[in-house]
Chains A and B, each alone.
Chain A
Amino acid sequence: MDENGVLCEKIINDINAVIERDSDLSSFEIVPTIFNQNKSPVIHIEHNLGLESWCVKWIYDYSHNKIVSSKTSKQQKHNNDTSVVKYLNVGLLINPDVASFWHMRRQLIEKNRLMVHQECQFAKLVLSKKPKSSEAFSYRRWLFSFQSSESIDWSVEIGICDRCADKSSSNYHAWSHRLWVLQKAPPSILKSEIFLTEKFIKKHISDYSCYHYRHSLLEHLFEQSFYCDIDNVDSFSSLKDFINYCQVVTVSTTDEILLTLLPKLTEALNKNNGTKLSQRILQQFQEKVKSFLYCCNLAAFDMKLCDELKNLYGARESFENHRRASLKFIVDNIVKMNGIKVIDQCSSPVTKLCKYDYTENEFLLAVKKSEAMLGEKHRQWCSLFLGFDFSA
């Protein structure tokens, strides 16, 4: 082994010693330095690991060669599988985008040579250096397939997503991972997600990735028939404000809101009153209606939030898009819940949208009228995506 090799080996051992010793290691980064100052380039302060930049090129080349040669030589494969791990650690920390390195770790896990828990830590460390590493996220997802959903601390996962999204803008990798968490985790996290996304939006006003997640969250809430804290006096205040803004009549109670949004349904329920429908179906249905009100209220809240942000920061594309997405959520679900007739199936194949007979619902007519005041461009959008017909 030449002198450079010895040096690289020493640095790699130093890095691995820190990773092994410090189980709470929170970040890794490459620290820019101009010269080799003739001391160890591995810096370890308060659970943060730094590597001076002058040596990066050497040790990456060295680790890469070691890994590749271990893959090709069959002998080593049988002898000591784990000797390659230290090179994998360094290689991936410096360059997290090599899929085959991650794949080798997966193989080692399958042979029980690596611990799942420590691997989770390692992927987290990689994310501290590159918050947009989709490989690290997908590795974490793969690792979770070995654990039962109950044993996973999902709030930690949410925390990682939050930090990664905060560090680099438009981090759809992090938000996609969070959507995956949403599907897996128990409903208990939903309430805090509503709160956390609002907080995130207020801080990252023009980063649409978060708005997109929040909209997906809203769809997910309605799918799960989720609602909470709806018995307060002002539980539907945003929705109430929205209705009152659009319409001439004023609503104040929950029943009045329901009558405005779902007139046919309320009628039908009153007539039926449990005689024909089984108790169970009726109850399920009532849950759905509660969730409908809750989610529409949230959408109305977001519309108001977008308007407020616009007043404070000036116009942004993200505000407008999110306001539209929220409006579409309300309109679409009113249409669905009321069972409004389709009058023109798939008139435009690109958007796969149907034209509905809005005249059946007075509230939708009122929405149409108030949205029409927001300018020609918005009217075009409304007619294309909500099916509002302004020609008449």
Chain B
Amino acid sequence: MVKLYAISVFYRTETDARLLKTASDLQSFSFFQRGAVQEFMGFASKTIVERTQPAMRQSVKQDAYMCHVYVRTDNLGGVLIADHEYPQRVAHTLITKVLDEYAARYSSDQWPMQNEATVDFPTLPAYLAKYQDPREADALTKMQNDLDETKIILKNTIEAVLERGEKLDDMIIKSENLSIQSKAFYKTAKKTNSCCSFT
């Protein structure tokens, strides 16, 4: 499936990454899953931004999903969660464009003080809807040419992004941003992938 699920803008500090704004489209998930999916996408986005150095581009594959991430040298970071079939080049061009527009709207000295509630950035949901069809990106071709694809680092799982000694399962259990419900979903999903079950 060619699909964009979520796009988020972060401000990255040495130790942490703070969400500035996010937009998501979770219609393709079943009703009771959406809450957990939303939390997980937020969790994965934050985790990956924290582990991405400034001026670095990564694309991390996890199951059928792809997390594309780019952190600018001024510590503004963007994460795009898409299906693995969504063209990588278009995804990274889109992140660049979103971050450029964010920087044009708010100056960099404002970023450290901002949080999700204070930021108003309506372009985000608009772009998420528009670029569901990657052919829309034709208008971006000029930018695409500037983007050197060899500079995107590919990782096969989220585990590969984690630092030494970190374990995804432990992080999920310890995380305060994930509800009990989401953790239950995570456990079941792991179980369903390994053997048959009713759910």
Residues of A within 8 A of B (CB): 27, 29-34, 43, 45-46, 48, 50, 53, 56-57, 60, 94-95, 128, 166-167, 169, 202-207, 312-313
Interchain CA distance A343-B133 in the complex, whole Å: 48
| Per-residue contact bits, chain B 69-89, to A (CB 8 Å; 1 contact, 0 not) | 000000000000000010100
When the two chains form their complex, are residues A56 and B199 in contact, meaning their CB atoms are under 8 A apart?
A: yes
Given A34-B180, A169-B1, A206-B85, 6 other A-B residues pairs in contact with their CB atoms under 8 A = A27-B30, A29-B30, A32-B188, A32-B199, A53-B198, A95-B198
A29-B31 in contact given A56-B198, A204-B1, A313-B85 (Cβ < 8 Å): yes
| Per-residue contact bits, chain B 134-170, to A (CB 8 Å; 1 contact, 0 not) | 1100000000000000000000000000000000000
**Chain A residues positioned under 8 Å from B189 (CB to CB):** 32
Residue in B2, B32, B183, B187 whose beta carbon sits within 8 Å of that of A31 in the complex: B32
The 10 sampled A-B contact pairs (Cβ below 8 Å) are A29-B31, A34-B180, A34-B187, A45-B31, A48-B31, A53-B198, A128-B30, A202-B133, A203-B1, A205-B2
When the two chains form their complex, are residues A203 and B3 in contact, meaning their CB atoms are under 8 A apart?
A: yes
- The answer to the question of B171 belonging to the interface, with a C-beta cut-off of 8 Å to chain A, is no
**Chain A residues positioned under 8 Å from B181 (CB to CB):** 33
Interchain CA distance A32-B199 in the complex, whole Å: 7
Interface residues on B, range: 20 to 34
**Chain A residues positioned under 8 Å from B133 (CB to CB):** 202
When the two chains form their complex, are residues B135 and A312 in contact, meaning their CB atoms are under 8 A apart?
A: yes
When the two chains form their complex, are residues A205 and B85 in contact, meaning their CB atoms are under 8 A apart?
A: yes
- Contacting A at CB under 8 A, from B114-143, are 133-135
**Chain A residues positioned under 8 Å from B32 (CB to CB):** 29, 31, 43, 48, 50
| Per-residue contact bits, chain B 14-37, to A (CB 8 Å; 1 contact, 0 not) | 000000000000001011110000
Residues of B within 8 A of A (CB): 1-3, 28, 30-33, 85, 87, 133-135, 180-181, 183-185, 187-189, 198-199
**Chain A residues positioned under 8 Å from B185 (CB to CB):** 32
**Chain B residues positioned under 8 Å from A53 (CB to CB):** 188, 198-199
Name the residue of chain A whose CB is nearest to the CB of B133: A202
Name the residue of chain B whose CB is nearest to the CB of A54: B184
**Chain B residues positioned under 8 Å from A206 (CB to CB):** 85
Interchain CA distance A95-B3 in the complex, whole Å: 30
**Chain B residues positioned under 8 Å from A48 (CB to CB):** 31-32
When the two chains form their complex, are residues B198 and A60 in contact, meaning their CB atoms are under 8 A apart?
A: yes
Interchain CA distance A204-B184 in the complex, whole Å: 30
When the two chains form their complex, are residues A202 and B31 in contact, meaning their CB atoms are under 8 A apart?
A: no
**Chain A residues positioned under 8 Å from B28 (CB to CB):** 166-167
Interchain CA distance A202-B32 in the complex, whole Å: 28
When the two chains form their complex, are residues B198 and A94 in contact, meaning their CB atoms are under 8 A apart?
A: yes
Name the residue of chain B whose CB is nearest to the CB of A32: B188
Chain A CB count within 10 A is highest, among B33, B183, B199, for: B199
Query: Nearest chain B CB to A262's CB is how many angstroms away?
Result: 35
**Chain B residues positioned under 8 Å from A45 (CB to CB):** 31
Interchain CA distance A321-B181 in the complex, whole Å: 43
**Chain B residues positioned under 8 Å from A312 (CB to CB):** 87, 134-135
Query: Nearest chain B CB to A112's CB is how many angstroms away?
Result: 33
Interchain CA distance A51-B85 in the complex, whole Å: 33
Chain B CB count within 10 A is highest, among A31, A57, A95, A169, for: A31
Query: Nearest chain A CB to B198's CB is how many angstroms away?
Result: 5
Interchain CA distance A166-B3 in the complex, whole Å: 12
Query: Nearest chain B CB to A193's CB is how many angstroms away?
Result: 20
Name the residue of chain A whose CB is nearest to the CB of B33: A29
When the two chains form their complex, are residues A202 and B2 in contact, meaning their CB atoms are under 8 A apart?
A: yes
Name the residue of chain B whose CB is nearest to the CB of A204: B1
Interchain CA distance A109-B107 in the complex, whole Å: 68
Name the residue of chain A whose CB is nearest to the CB of B192: A32
**Chain A residues positioned under 8 Å from B198 (CB to CB):** 30, 53, 56-57, 60, 94-95
Query: Nearest chain B CB to A64's CB is how many angstroms away?
Result: 12
A204-B2 in contact given A27-B30, A31-B32, A48-B32 (Cβ < 8 Å): yes
Query: Nearest chain A CB to B193's CB is how many angstroms away?
Result: 13
